[in-house]
Amino acid sequence: MKTRPSKLDEKILALLQSSPSRTLKTKDIARLLSIGKDDYQALRKTLKRLVGENKISCQKSNRYGAIARSAEKEGVLKVHSQGYGFVLADDGSEAFVSSKNMATALHLDRVRIRLFAVSEGQRPEGQVIAVLERARSSIVGTFRFGRRYAYVVPDDIKIQVDIVISSTDEHEVQEGQKVVVVIEEWEHPHLNPVGRIVRVLGFPDDPGVDVLSIACSYGMDATFPSAVEREAEELSRRKLAEEKEKRLDFREKLIVTIDPADAKDFDDAISLEKISDDRFQLGVHIADVAFFVPEGSALDREALARGTSVYLVDRVIPMLPHQLSTDVCSLREGEERLCYSVLIDIDLEANVHAFRVCETVIQSTKRLTYEEAQELIEGEKSDSLAETLRLMHHLSQALIRQRSNRGAIDFDSLEVKVDLDEQGRPVHLHPRERLESHRLIEEFMLLANECVARLGGQILPKEQQRSWPFVYRVHEKPDRESVRSLIDLMEAFQIPVEMPSKITPRFFQNLSSQLKDHPARTILQDALIRTMMKAKYTTEPLGHFGLAYRYYSHFTSPIRRYPDLLTHRLLKAFQQNGTVPALEIVEKKCQQSSENEIRALEAERASIKLKQVEFIERHLNESFEGIVSRIVNFGIFVQIPQFLIDGLIHISDLADDYYLVDEKNYCLLGQSSGRKFRLGDRLRVRVARVSRAERLVDFLLAESEDEKK
């Protein structure tokens, strides 16, 4: 007589739980439960199902056992390039996972692990028992033909298993081409995953394929689903005449946009008008994207999934289709556009006396580049545009002084600008210039964002803040341990710094000012920035440490940032007494936006690093002056300041002595000679090896002319 499945479940669980440390094979379970041959296949299926439901475990040699729940954790797996990894668990703890215990998990997958028993004081170690969520739906790699089958070698060195291709019938793919593949089957960690090619990108040296590969590896696509494109096309044709009549009319005002020369989308414009002897109305006019993107629409869902536009070294992956981002929502010169504007009453000392946020219609008078605006600020022209820009510049300088007096941290940009030729090859690397016109726009956007955040944080009564959630851009105070590590690093560069009794923005402000003329300024300022907590989006008004704001939000870039679009909707709902999503829903969207922002930054940096490596590859065997930027147990990293690119002098290439790391003094010390390589030391290095695939550069110490002779 067959045992009913529900009863069989209970019997299996009771048997395994009676001896939690014991594991049994299927035949042993069948014998102990008196299950005959007729029911043996049903037993196997039931065991497999119970493993899938995580009710029992399946270990080596298909031995089944009870699950000790207290020894399991869930978290994100982060794989090292050498194969091992760590799982950052949801409770904040961390566990080591060797390559042999990763099962079928890949870098950044969400997994469940079972912890091993370890002695007190040892670090936790475990094995992956289930992949809960894949970090990526597709993988980019190089297509190869093997003797028996075709396969793809992933670009990401943290994915250390080749993917067997089931069929190439759908695509005409050639040996050595870059492809996008999805894994369809991976039954056992000792077998290769089986996948199929979904897109052929081209040969690695084809123009643009290198950056396209990076975009695809992060799951980014410049194209949109057809349903999203259709919806964008329909919404872009909305009749606006009636809507314009409802709004505050700024079409006759002097309004300008100031953006990079190659900008395609213009989501902010500014105006300044005198309203009394000592008062002015500063207008920060933001594209009213919310009017064209209905909440919950296909367009909105796609924008939320993307979270942000991504600015790669040679292209933009937009958050919204071009019908909106570069057309009807873009504040183009001479064209009427719907805006959501922050109108600020301000005096010559940049004191804010009042502000309001309202729906407007504008017509941009002039589209300026940053360089053109800078020329007008510095020049002798006396027309209304030049005079307005100079007054705007005066206000922006007053705003900078105000922020400085509050202790806000003002970091100079550490971004590298990559100039490409028509084939996408890097021809010049240099630090991105920051003009006064850049500062002007930055200050006005900061002020508008702060005003909007004050509406959410101060005007809404506390009892309403749960029913009327708001989006804040928050930046929390760094912990003392991180600050102590930063101070130790500064002292290694001969910069004396005392540990403050209280960690404040002004401490970082003063420290940053000490670095302005230091030869290793870029290295130290990067360390200072990394000490700070990462900014994020949340519904909690936790303040912005770096800017020294009690309330801060993002409002000024709804074309390219989803949180700004969400802020617009929430603020409009408040003003119009509409309905808003529950706090939990808004918080979830904030969290997703923060994650997408990190992904975008990583992709942008990867694309720049790729071009930096390609650029330096053309300088193989050439020598440059550099600064020691980091000491590790396998060598020293040296930065070439003029290119902002780092390379490694491997410890095995320091053949004159046996070197060990002196962590306390941040140096590499020769055991026989006493020779030291210290942070901040200036060295002449030669470009020895370059790997574009791994985006790595190796240096060798360059001999001096005297040594050569």
In the prediction, which pLDDT does 708 show? 45
- Per-residue pLDDT for 328 more than 60? yes
Per the CB < 8 A criterion, the answer to whether 165 and 158 are in contact is no
pLDDT of residue 513: 85
Residue 457 belongs to some domain of the structure:
no
| 334 C-beta neighbours (distance < 10 Å), count | 9
CA distances from 26 to 14, 39, 46, 64, 223 (A): 15, 12, 11, 8, 50
| pLDDT value at residue 3 | 41
pLDDT at 526: 84
Whole-number pLDDT of residue 121? 65
CA distance 440 to 396: 5
Question: Do 121 and 152 belong to one domain?
Answer: no
Q: Is residue 304 situated within a structural domain?
A: yes
Confidence label for 291 from pLDDT (cuts 50, 70 and 90): very high
Same domain, 269 and 378: yes
DSSP classification of residue 457: I
Assign 460 a pLDDT band (cuts: 50, 70, 90).
low
609-533-320 Cα angle (round to 5): 60
Q: What token pair was written down for 77?
A: 């797996």
- pLDDT tens track for 633-676: 899 999 998 898 999 999 999 988 999 998 877 889 999 998 99
Query: Is position 148 within any domain?
Result: yes
Kindly state whether residue 544 falls inside one of the protein's structural domains: no
Query: Over 80: is that where the pLDDT of 1 sits?
Result: no
Q: Kindly report, residue by residue over 220-253, the tens digit of the pLDDT.
A: 999 999 999 999 999 999 889 999 999 999 999 9
Same domain, 359 and 389: yes
Contact residues for 590 (Cβ-Cβ < 8 A; gap 6+): 471, 536, 537, 538, 539, 563, 566
Asked whether residue 68 carries a pLDDT value surpassing 70, the answer given is no
pLDDT value at 212 more than 80? yes
**Which residues touch 667 (CB under 8 Å, ≥6 apart)?**
492, 631, 661, 676, 677, 678, 679
φ/ψ of 108, rounded to 5, equals 75, 5
Q: Given pLDDT bands bounded at 50, 70 and 90, which one contains residue 2?
A: very low
CATH code, domain carrying 184: 2.40.50.700
From 345, 589, 594, select the one nearest 476 (Cα to Cα). Answer: 594
Mean pLDDT, the chain, integer: 90
Beta-carbon neighbour count of residue 176 at 10 Å? 12
pLDDT digits (tens, 9 = 90+) for 297-313: 999 999 999 999 999 99
Same domain, 75 and 90: yes
Pair (307, 398) in one structural domain: yes
For residue 124, give its domain range. 69-133
Contact 70, 52 (CB under 8 A): no
Give yes or no: residues 143 and 164 share one domain: yes
Q: Is pLDDT above 50 for 38?
A: yes
Taking each helix axis as running N to C, give the angle between helix 562-575 and helix 298-306, from 0 to 180 degrees, rounded to the nearest 10: 130
DSSP state of 191: S
Please give the Cα distance from 643 to 429 (Å, whole number).
5
- Mind listing the pLDDT tens digit for each residue in 143-179? 999 888 899 999 998 898 999 998 877 788 999 999 9
**Bridge partners, 115 (sequence order):** 126
Distance, in Å, from the CA atom of 15 to the CA atom of 7, rounded to the nearest integer, reads 12
pLDDT for residue 705 is more than 50: no
Q: What per-residue string of b and e applies to 269-292 under the rule 16 or more CB within 10 Å gives b?
A: bbbbeeeeeeebbbbbbbbbbbbb
Least confident of 105-109, 339-343, 488-492, 565-569: 488-492
Residues 401 and 309 reside in one and the same domain:
yes
| Dihedral sign computed on CA atoms, order 16, 17, 19, 20 | positive
What does the pLDDT average to over 593-604? 95
- Final residue of a structural domain among 502, 532, 562: 532
Q: What is the pLDDT of residue 167?
A: 81
Q: Are residues 640 and 511 in the same domain?
A: no
Span 311-323, mean pLDDT?
Answer: 96
One domain for residues 393 and 299: yes
Q: At what angle do helices 298-306 and 583-617 cross, to 10 degrees?
A: 50
CA distances 57 to 23, 25, 50, 549, Å, are 9, 12, 8, 51
Q: Are residues 485 and 526 in the same domain?
A: yes
- Among candidate residues 135, 179, 307, 214, the one with its CA nearest the CA of residue 695: 214
What is the C-alpha to C-alpha distance for residues 703 and 623, in angstroms, rounded to an integer? 9
Asked whether residue 607 is assigned to any structural domain, the reply reads no
Give the C-alpha separation, 67 to 594, whole Å: 35
Same structural domain, 291 and 197: no
Task: Give the H/E segment covering residue 250.
Answer: strand 248-250
Find how far residue 487's CA is from the centre of its chain: 27
Q: Is the model's pLDDT at 5 over the cut of 50?
A: no
Q: Which two tokens stand for residue 253?
A: 């005002």
Residues 6+ apart with CB under 8 A from 583: 466, 467, 469, 539
Let me know whether 97 and 143 are in one domain: no
Given 464, 499, 532, the domain boundary residue is: 532
Q: What is the pTM of this model?
A: 0.84
Closest alpha carbon to 645 in 671, 689, 669, 615: 615
| Cα–Cα distance, 379 to 332 (Å, whole number) | 25
Do 184 and 202 form a contact (C-beta atoms < 8 A)?
A: no
Would residue 212 count as lying in a domain?
no
pLDDT of residue 524: 86
Q: Give yes or no for a contact between 123 and 96, defined as CB atoms under 8 angstroms apart.
A: yes
- 531-576: per-residue pLDDT in tens? 888 899 999 999 999 999 999 999 999 999 999 999 999 999 988 8
Tell me if 107 is assigned to some domain: yes
Residue 54, sorted as left (phi over 0), alpha (psi -120 to 50) or beta, turns out to be left
More confident residue, 448 or 186: 448
CB atoms under 10 Å from CB of 101, counted, come to 19
Give the domain CATH number at 676. 2.40.50.140
Average pLDDT over residues 187-204: 91
Mean pLDDT of 24-39: 89
Tokens describing residue 370: 């940053």
Domain boundary among the residues 172, 206, 240 is at 206
Number of domains in the chain: 6
Q: Mean pLDDT over residues 102-122, rounded?
A: 84
- Predicted confidence band at 6 (pLDDT cuts at 50, 70, 90)? low
Domain annotation covers residue 612:
no
Phi, psi of 43 (to 5 degrees): -65, -45
Calculate mean pLDDT across residues 59-83. 82
Question: Which pLDDT tens digit goes with each residue over 489-535?
Answer: 888 888 888 999 999 999 998 888 888 878 888 888 888 888 888 89
Q: Is 269 helix (H, G, I), strand (E, B) or coil?
A: strand
Residue 706 is predicted with a pLDDT of: 41
Question: Which of 176, 616, 604 lies closest to 415 in space, CA to CA?
Answer: 604
For 441, counting Cβ atoms within 10 Å of its Cβ (0-12 exposed, 13-18 middle, 19+ buried), the class is buried
